[in-house]
Amino acid sequence: MTPNTAPEIEAVRRKAAGSSFYAAMRLMPKAEREGMFAIYAFCRAVDDIADDGIGTREERHAALDAWREDLARLCAGGAPGHAAFLAETVARYRLRLKDFLAVIDGMDMDVEADIVAPDLARLDLYCDRVASAVGRLSIKVFGMDEEPGFLLAHHLGRALQLTNILRDLDEDAAVHRLYLPREYLVAADVEAYEPAAALANQAVDKACRDVAKLAHSHYEEAARILRAKPKGNLRAPRLMGAVYAEILRKMEAQGWAPPRHRARIPKTQLAMIVLKSGLHA
């Protein structure tokens, strides 16, 4: 398989350089790496529609609908439109249309209305769509069987997304979003759900720690699946889990009470995690 040089994929390859995602991709054979970059390019394209703020909500919803139509045509053997760069990857790994559509449905949740203090059920649905559905696409590229693969996607996807939510609190609040679950805010006695007000409350730290506990439970389940050594190239999911779990631990150490500082992993530490993950089959 020759490297995919579609401009969509080249753009995300350049943007990802130096990231933990790029490090994970470097652990994969070339064909699988190109497949993952194609999936990532799709995710970036639909995420940009939801998050770039260009156009009205109706226009962004229409743009996501156009992606649904292009993907349906692609999977039916028709003209794929904007999804053309996915054709080789979809065919090679037999990726499922419903998983692509689930990702778009997750982006549409952000387009429909700003998500502010959702209940746990809605938060879990959101995580399933924007993260675990990506995992369900990815496990096909990793060469995993569906039963352990989809279970890994369920737990690792949620763990990674919950970690992202905790890391991006202030960035999300700037666009009037707050993904912390309402039940945890109530338990922490955070009564104002308006994002800026909630995050200015020192008690938000407790709600965040409850989210962190939920994330840890998913990391533990993902690790259990990986320890069983199911079929497939598991270096990339193992690395992503290790990197994001470390980010979560750093956030827990510094806390989420204001003022917050974005947790980062030094390059030397990232290199050690990459090395350790690369030693495992």
**What percent of the chain stands above pLDDT 90?**
80
Which pLDDT score is estimated for 218? 98
Q: Is the pLDDT of residue 155 over 80?
A: yes
* Residues 204 and 180 sit within 8 Å (Cβ to Cβ): yes
Q: Are residues 137 and 244 in the same domain?
A: yes
Same domain, 141 and 69: no
Instruction: Tell me: pLDDT of 59 over 70.
Output: yes
Q: Which of 92, 111, 130 is the last residue of a domain?
A: 111
Query: Is 60 found in the same domain as 44?
Result: yes
Cite the DSSP H helix spans in the chain. 7-16, 20-26, 30-51, 57-75, 87-93, 97-112, 120-127, 133-142, 146-167, 169-174, 182-187, 195-200, 204-227, 235-254, 267-278
Domain limits for position 230: 114-281
pLDDT at residue 3 in the model: 46
Question: In this predicted model, what pLDDT tens digit does every residue of 102-153 receive, in sequence order?
Answer: 999 999 999 999 999 999 999 999 999 999 999 999 999 999 999 999 999 9
- Residue 179 is part of a domain; what is its CATH number? 1.10.600.10
* Whole-number Å distance between alpha carbons of 243 and 237: 10
| pLDDT tier, 6 (very low <50, low <70, confident <90, very high otherwise) | confident
The angle, 0 to 180 degrees and rounded to 10, between the axes of the packed helices 133-142 and 235-254 is 140
What would the pLDDT profile of 91-115 be if each residue is shown by its tens digit?
999 999 999 999 999 999 999 999 9
Give the pLDDT confidence score for residue 274 in this predicted structure: 75
User: What is the Cα–Cα distance from 145 to 134, expressed in whole angstroms?
Assistant: 16
The Cα–Cα gap between 110 and 128 comes to 14
Q: Write the pLDDT tens digit of every residue in 68-77.
A: 999 999 999 9
CA-based radius of gyration for the chain: 19
Q: Which residues of 57-80 are buried (b: 16+ CB within 10 A; e: fewer)?
A: eeebbebbeebbebbeebbeeeeb
Please state the rounded mean pLDDT for residues 185-214.
Answer: 97
Which amino acid, 258? P
The verdict on 171 and 151 lying in the same domain is yes
Average pLDDT estimate for 8-28: 69
The number of domains in the chain is 2
Same domain, 213 and 74: no
Q: In the prediction, which pLDDT does 2 show? A: 42
Q: Are 257 and 199 in contact (CB under 8 A)?
A: no
Residue 24 sits in the same domain as residue 88: yes
Q: What angle do CA 35, 36, 39 make, to 5 degrees?
A: 90
End of a domain among 77, 111, 145? 111
